Chain A
């Protein structure tokens, strides 16, 4: 009798908690990592970019459905100052998440902050070539001034707006300002970062009505655990499903794979500051020692002759479908050990037994990978190490956590490493200056991992930036591609598409290219 009562109690508890959870349960999803900042001025990762799209509004954005350029903040606009400015009339009644009214002062504060050289923002440094200033003409009218006349000027206004009151008007914004942890936005959700995730609560506004009360971002770990948790309804979505698990997801009736339009390519950055990697012939040899076909098969699961693979080899810093990709530079699908050995000998290496030596010392390569990528392409680090070891190099392998990656690698302070495996993603703009330009005080080379510096490369990057004609820009990048394939600051690997997975009780889930959550208001979740 007591046993029956206990079972009855247990069943009632399950049912009761299910009912309670159905009402209060957040929509949870796995992200690649936790965001590094909630301040959009200092976005360093795709996770950051996606999270900012939930909390803030961009002045203008493209509809992910019709691609129409539109705004949730601007009522109307007009060209001013002979085309060198636009006058924006803002919607009345929009509020910041803390209830303060949104207005022209906020728009101008944001632009002033971007223009302030004491705001250490890579994005800001780039925006200085576009914006000249901003005048708040009334509470809801802002005059945004450009450095020159732009065709389609509204396209330049895809900037997140920050609240002037959160910074007391100080436009020299610092990354460690408390705003980075406790932001105020006008976006569909109010975000708060905890130690193990980020919680988003619906923030009803004049221009937003998010129907999901609470969302929870969790850091993804083992992809198998992620997929199993999704299948068991422990979470409702995974932002990036590794290729090896996509078939599993596709076979589940309650799950759907969704395309996430992102231009991503993978690379191995080479530290040319190391004495044994300074000579470009040694870098070319490493490039030839990699068997990309095997790497791709073993880590991503692509068969050697598979058609329409989600993973396509590249020979330079663009995906093959980009007009900037130089098709005359061949990809290197398989290794060429004979040529590699010749190059190593010419570069001053000696082969002692099966090991390569330089200056009498055996060469051991310290190889690192951003830890989250090792989940997406399982064991890529090991396979690269294996191939190089089989060719005669010692190897040490390291998985680098997101904090160290942001703190050391992106700032050019990971000089201990010889090789770093990474991935870059791009939206509409494929600006590779931050990757390959010499690091300078004007923001050039802001993501230059090992401090690569080459005057010809710098000149080509300048040619691209100054190009008046589209064809000049294309030519500059074609030449850059060719030069980089020769100099090899990176060993270019492949482009890999991105797929999300969501449970079928998450509906209306249109995924925006690059920004992901632009249509968040239309998402619906029934627990």
Chain B
């Protein structure tokens, strides 16, 4: 008996079986503004889930969703915007990989001179026109006529200044058809260039194509849903050199349904952070102001420990938030439903995404990294948000970690035509990093 008692004391009971007390993480009024609670009200969800467009979007099948939505309106604008964002993030990963593979301190004997062209375009994407100017215009003598012509076109564009990230109609810069609501333009299959080097060849994708595709979908989104909505939805996923808006926007339900932004204010806070709110005081003030209408601001406002966020507090409160949402959804619906738990799962990823941006605004790379890694663990099942996953891949690549970045990208590269073109740059970085490493023996 004594042994049994000691064993019970050490092992403990099954915690999962314990009844959970009601969780109040954030204010009820903030919870009421979320799309999760909105759709739980009788009569709201059914027409949404019956629509084949939303059914396809639930699995992030953009091509089918676009075909089913088709007409101008918020859902179509949202599809175009997310595609534009996906292309932007993919281009970002590609640009970072190019710079980290062939940038000045990494250039190796045997690298073909044409990598200057790739570096030039990469620097444009990274918002560094001066660096781009040092590399563009050098490949005019290349035997690869397409690359040579693109180099000249980009140099002219750079010299003309302005609008570098907008859609180009230049015949040598991967021209696309006129933007069309509900359309999906074809992409030129990569590799775009096979550059001779020694007795072998370097296969490369041109980041220009991704930029063009991003700009095309942005234009189509504006046609479908207007400039304000498109700009606001794009803001969290813009390229480094792009301007971001801060004017608050009120998003309709269809702009938030099944997204990681539960309310308009969640997105507005993230936009403010991305647009330049920085320093602990400014960030805390922003969250305090918004916590009554943004559940993520509510969660995170309680997790500051000078000079940054307390990571464990964020994890704990982010994990508790779905329980409060589920309770509110059950109450709104008048009953518990299976999909309430699924919908609530988006919120955990949303909190962590806002947390990442707060840590970055506070120049706290370690906390931002910890939050990202944790977010990756919750970005599963219904919450496996492609935008976050490609953003994470781009972050990994920027940290010269193509190993996980490549794996994440591999899982998303078929979401939209042309995304796979970034693979070649990621491969090049992977090869360089892997061959720079010491020895490794297969294990298991």
What is the interface of chain A, defined by CB distance below 8 A to chain B? 6, 10, 13-21, 25, 43-46, 48-49, 62, 64-68, 122-123, 126-127, 129-130, 150-152, 155-159, 231-234, 250, 252-254, 256-259, 261, 263-264, 307-308, 319-323, 370, 422-432, 434-435, 446-447, 468-475, 504, 507-508, 510, 513
A427 to B441, CA, bound (A): 9
Whether the Cβ atoms of A424 and B14 lie closer than 8 Å is no
Contact of B370 among A20, A130, A423, A510 (CB under 8 A): A510
- The answer to the question of B404 belonging to the interface, with a C-beta cut-off of 8 Å to chain A, is yes
A-B contact pairs, 12 of them (CB 8 A): A14-B6, A14-B9, A65-B369, A155-B436, A156-B437, A232-B12, A232-B13, A259-B376, A321-B406, A430-B440, A434-B442, A470-B432
Whether the Cβ atoms of B443 and A430 lie closer than 8 Å is no
Query: In the complex, which residue of chain B has the Cβ closest to the Cβ of A152?
Result: B436
Nearest CB on B from A99, distance (A): 30
Query: In the complex, which residue of chain B has the Cβ closest to the Cβ of A12?
Result: B5
Whether the Cβ atoms of A67 and B5 lie closer than 8 Å is no
Contact of A471 among B9, B200, B403, B409 (CB under 8 A): B200
Whether the Cβ atoms of A130 and B5 lie closer than 8 Å is no
Whether the Cβ atoms of A231 and B16 lie closer than 8 Å is yes
Nearest CB on B from A48, distance (A): 8
Query: In the complex, which residue of chain B has the Cβ closest to the Cβ of A508?
Result: B312
Which residues of A lie under 8 Å from residue B441 when comparing CB positions?
Answer: 43, 122-123, 126, 431, 434, 446-447
Most chain A beta-carbon neighbours within 10 Å: one of B6, B197, B439: B439
Known A-B contacts A25-B10, A155-B438, A256-B377; the reply to A13 vs B366 at CB < 8 A is: no
Known A-B contacts A10-B5, A261-B404, A469-B198; the reply to A431 vs B439 at CB < 8 A is: yes
**Which of B63-71, B134-142, B423-431 is near enough to bind chain A?**
B423-431
Query: In the complex, which residue of chain B has the Cβ closest to the Cβ of A522?
Result: B370
Known A-B contacts A232-B13, A447-B441, A471-B202; the reply to A513 vs B106 at CB < 8 A is: no
Q: Mark B1-15, 1 if CB is under 8 A from A, else 0.
A: 110011011111111
- The answer to the question of B110 belonging to the interface, with a C-beta cut-off of 8 Å to chain A, is yes
Whether the Cβ atoms of B11 and A234 lie closer than 8 Å is yes
Number of A-B residue pairs having CB atoms within 8 Å of each other in the complex:
193
Whether the Cβ atoms of A232 and B14 lie closer than 8 Å is yes
Query: In the complex, which residue of chain B has the Cβ closest to the Cβ of A423?
Result: B444
Contact of A323 among B106, B399, B431 (CB under 8 A): B431
A500 to B85, CA, bound (A): 32
A469 to B13, CA, bound (A): 59
Known A-B contacts A65-B366, A233-B15; the reply to A130 vs B410 at CB < 8 A is: no
Nearest CB on A from B438, distance (A): 5
A126 to B20, CA, bound (A): 55
- The answer to the question of B104 belonging to the interface, with a C-beta cut-off of 8 Å to chain A, is no
Whether the Cβ atoms of A428 and B10 lie closer than 8 Å is no
- The answer to the question of B306 belonging to the interface, with a C-beta cut-off of 8 Å to chain A, is no
Contact of A424 among B430, B433, B439, B443 (CB under 8 A): B443
Whether the Cβ atoms of A424 and B444 lie closer than 8 Å is yes
Number of residues from B at the complex interface, CB < 8 A: 68
Whether the Cβ atoms of B443 and A44 lie closer than 8 Å is yes
- The answer to the question of B240 belonging to the interface, with a C-beta cut-off of 8 Å to chain A, is no
Which residues of B lie under 8 Å from residue A426 when comparing CB positions?
Answer: 440, 442-443
Whether the Cβ atoms of B439 and A428 lie closer than 8 Å is no
Most chain B beta-carbon neighbours within 10 Å: one of A67, A252, A254, A257: A67
Whether the Cβ atoms of B10 and A470 lie closer than 8 Å is no
Q: Is the interface of B mostly helix, strand, loop or mixed?
A: helix
Most chain B beta-carbon neighbours within 10 Å: one of A158, A234, A428, A447: A428
Whether the Cβ atoms of A66 and B199 lie closer than 8 Å is no
Nearest CB on A from B98, distance (A): 14
Which residues of B lie under 8 Å from residue A10 when comparing CB positions?
Answer: 1, 5
Q: Mark B70-114, 1 if CB is under 8 A from A, else 0.
A: 000000000000000000000000000000000000101110000
Most chain B beta-carbon neighbours within 10 Å: one of A126, A253, A323, A446: A323
Whether the Cβ atoms of B366 and A323 lie closer than 8 Å is no
A335 to B230, CA, bound (A): 49
Whether the Cβ atoms of B16 and A252 lie closer than 8 Å is yes
Query: In the complex, which residue of chain A has the Cβ closest to the Cβ of B1?
Result: A10
Query: In the complex, which residue of chain A has the Cβ closest to the Cβ of B428?
Result: A470
Which residues of A lie under 8 Å from residue B370 when comparing CB positions?
Answer: 65, 510
Nearest CB on B from A127, distance (A): 6
Known A-B contacts A126-B439, A428-B403, A472-B199; the reply to A308 vs B384 at CB < 8 A is: yes
Nearest CB on A from B397, distance (A): 10
Contact of A474 among B5, B20, B369, B427 (CB under 8 A): B427
Query: In the complex, which residue of chain B has the Cβ closest to the Cβ of A125?
Result: B439
Given A13-B6, A254-B16, A469-B197; 5 other pairs, CB 8 A cutoff? A21-B9, A45-B443, A123-B439, A471-B431, A472-B198
- The answer to the question of B285 belonging to the interface, with a C-beta cut-off of 8 Å to chain A, is no
Whether the Cβ atoms of A233 and B12 lie closer than 8 Å is yes
A14 to B11, CA, bound (A): 10
- The answer to the question of B59 belonging to the interface, with a C-beta cut-off of 8 Å to chain A, is yes
Which residues of B lie under 8 Å from residue A422 when comparing CB positions?
Answer: 444
Which residues of B lie under 8 Å from residue A430 when comparing CB positions?
Answer: 434, 440
Which residues of B lie under 8 Å from residue A155 when comparing CB positions?
Answer: 436-438
Whether the Cβ atoms of A264 and B436 lie closer than 8 Å is no
Interface set, chain B 392-425, CB cutoff 8 A to A:
396, 399-401, 403-404, 406-407, 409-411
Whether the Cβ atoms of B437 and A151 lie closer than 8 Å is no
- The answer to the question of B435 belonging to the interface, with a C-beta cut-off of 8 Å to chain A, is yes
Known A-B contacts A65-B370, A474-B427; the reply to A258 vs B442 at CB < 8 A is: no
A468 to B14, CA, bound (A): 58
Which residues of B lie under 8 Å from residue A158 when comparing CB positions?
Answer: 437-438
Contact of A231 among B2, B14, B411, B432 (CB under 8 A): B14
Known A-B contacts A232-B12, A264-B444; the reply to A429 vs B434 at CB < 8 A is: yes
A130 to B437, CA, bound (A): 11
- The answer to the question of B249 belonging to the interface, with a C-beta cut-off of 8 Å to chain A, is no
Whether the Cβ atoms of B9 and A13 lie closer than 8 Å is yes
Which residues of A lie under 8 Å from residue B384 when comparing CB positions?
Answer: 308
- The answer to the question of B201 belonging to the interface, with a C-beta cut-off of 8 Å to chain A, is yes
Contact of B377 among A21, A46, A258 (CB under 8 A): A258
- The answer to the question of B365 belonging to the interface, with a C-beta cut-off of 8 Å to chain A, is yes
Query: In the complex, which residue of chain A has the Cβ closest to the Cβ of B367?
Result: A65
Query: In the complex, which residue of chain A has the Cβ closest to the Cβ of B381?
Result: A250
Which residues of B lie under 8 Å from residue A157 when comparing CB positions?
Answer: 438
Nearest CB on A from B69, distance (A): 21
Query: In the complex, which residue of chain A has the Cβ closest to the Cβ of B101?
Result: A470
Whether the Cβ atoms of A470 and B5 lie closer than 8 Å is no
Query: In the complex, which residue of chain A has the Cβ closest to the Cβ of B201?
Result: A471
Whether the Cβ atoms of A66 and B365 lie closer than 8 Å is yes
Contact of A472 among B20, B200, B396, B426 (CB under 8 A): B200
- The answer to the question of B243 belonging to the interface, with a C-beta cut-off of 8 Å to chain A, is no
Known A-B contacts A253-B16, A470-B428; the reply to A308 vs B376 at CB < 8 A is: no
A254 to B384, CA, bound (A): 21
- The answer to the question of B373 belonging to the interface, with a C-beta cut-off of 8 Å to chain A, is yes
Most chain B beta-carbon neighbours within 10 Å: one of A429, A431, A508: A429
Query: In the complex, which residue of chain B has the Cβ closest to the Cβ of A32?
Result: B444
A62 to B400, CA, bound (A): 10
A68 to B396, CA, bound (A): 11
Whether the Cβ atoms of A321 and B13 lie closer than 8 Å is no
A320 to B427, CA, bound (A): 12
Nearest CB on B from A47, distance (A): 9
